Structure 1
Amino acid sequence: MAHGPWGTVFESYCGSRAWLPADASAQGATLHVARAPGISRDLFHHTVLHAFVPLALVLHGHTLVHAACVAVGGRAFLFPGESRMGKSTLAAGFAARGLPVFSDDVVRVQVDAAGCVRVWPGYPGARLRGESFLLGASQRGQRPGRYGLPRFRVHTTPVVGVPAEGVEVAAVCFLGRSRTVAPSWARLSPMQAITPWVESCFLLSLPKPQRLRAAFERGSQLARSAPAWRVAYRRSSPHFATLCTRLVEAMEAIAASGTPHR
């Protein structure tokens, strides 16, 4: 990535590039993209949707979070986590239960004037790696996708009817690892939530002199604006259906009473 008087140039690890002109406005920005030689259309789409577009939006002042997002009871729940924590798998599992999935990987968030965190749906679909147990036997395999990226995208129903002001976030559930398959819930204070918020935000497109200040400002604002939990469990394909059921029950309880425990 390079900043200059002509704008910002992004280059992905697979060689594809994007250019955001310096005179582009937040309301009418045009992102020029170019696919690298030998790169498939699917991989290029992945790069544009999961890297170039989020980074360009961040440059225009938006906040993008590396998280899955689902709506339960008319309110949204975020599941931020690092790569290979199972965000897309959770999104596919929630979609199979008929829940509106806003995103499996990247979510735009905003704190409104009342201090509530709001989100908007992104593009539909959930990406799965080749070894995912959610794939059929004819698709499944141990060979990873090119550059280690997910090889398959499963359909999720597009979310419609979302108001222009977005949907309020009921809770943020930071994913963690545990020795047990049953999910454990630990409430995070606003101070404890700052670091995981910062780790989940897209900030790399900002110039280095601005990055540290932006990280603290966005992390602290989000941490004090939405209830946060650490949700830890051991990933296990035989127990995945039960995991999804328990998570949905916990989200319903949070939407009703503010706690995941009925």
Structure 2
Amino acid sequence: MLGLSECSITEEGYRCLSEAVRSNPSHLISLDLSGNDPGPSGVKLIYDLLEDTNCALNTVRLRSCGFSKECCADLSSALNSNPSHLRHLNLSKNNLGTSGVNKLSDLLKNPQCKLKTLVLCGCSLTEKHCARLISALCSNPSHLTHLNLSGNNLGTSGVNKLSDLLKNPQCKLKTLVLRSCEKHCARLISALCSNPSHLTHLNLSGNNLGTSGVNKLSDLLKNPQCKLKTLVLRSCGFSKECCAALSSALNSNPSHLTHLNLSGNNLGTSGVNKLSDLLKNPQCKLKTLTEWL
């Protein structure tokens, strides 16, 4: 594992690193260069490394590297030329653009792709981009266990595609993070209700779930097949009644949840009372009740 995030690495630094790694590529499995701007020549060195058939990297983190749309397209194309090792990919805070999304979709559809973690926070993805990426995931759903699309515009078509993915019996998603995606949460949660046994971590912070979303989420939490361990709902604009309903639902199926975050919502007396009932329940296994999740 090589972690060099936020190290102010220049294009020359990228050249040296790439040459060193390519001289002995078969052992390095994790590379984190987040927060370093490689420039055009540095990007080319990265995708030359990724195209190397001897490259054994299974984890690539390149968050906030200032990649252009063209760079993202080239990187995704390089990953697709050697997809069988990759398990974890983080390209957050880069502008993928249409070309990058198309190339990344090709990777996700590749039957050799065994990606488990995909993190694309704040990538300026449009509704069309999200729909295309999630459609690609739907065609090869059995490996992905962690998906984070926070801060992108899913829109109606993106949410519809994501709902299709979540309802797919082959979908093994354990972690879903959709902070500040804003719309159609009720539809997504309804899809989760149809296939609840795999999901263990859910973060919908910064979304206004509304009454229908809260009702659907309560249905999910009460489902005896629901195995959620982590639930993060920061700043979701919940009323006292919503907080009370959610706490009551948790109390009906308390044995799995270990981490709960309801920060930035108005619990009110009724919500606090219901949450207290949960905490007093001898089956309650809650370990963390905090704003820092």
TM-score range, shorter chain: under 0.3
Query: More helix by proportion, 1 or 2?
Result: 2
Question: Which of 1 and 2 has higher RCO (CA within 8 Å, sep 6+)?
Answer: 1
Scaled by the length of structure 2, the TM-score of the pair is 0.25
Q: With the length of structure 1 as denominator, give the TM-score of the two structures.
A: 0.27
Instruction: Tell me which protein shows more strand as a share of its residues.
Output: 1
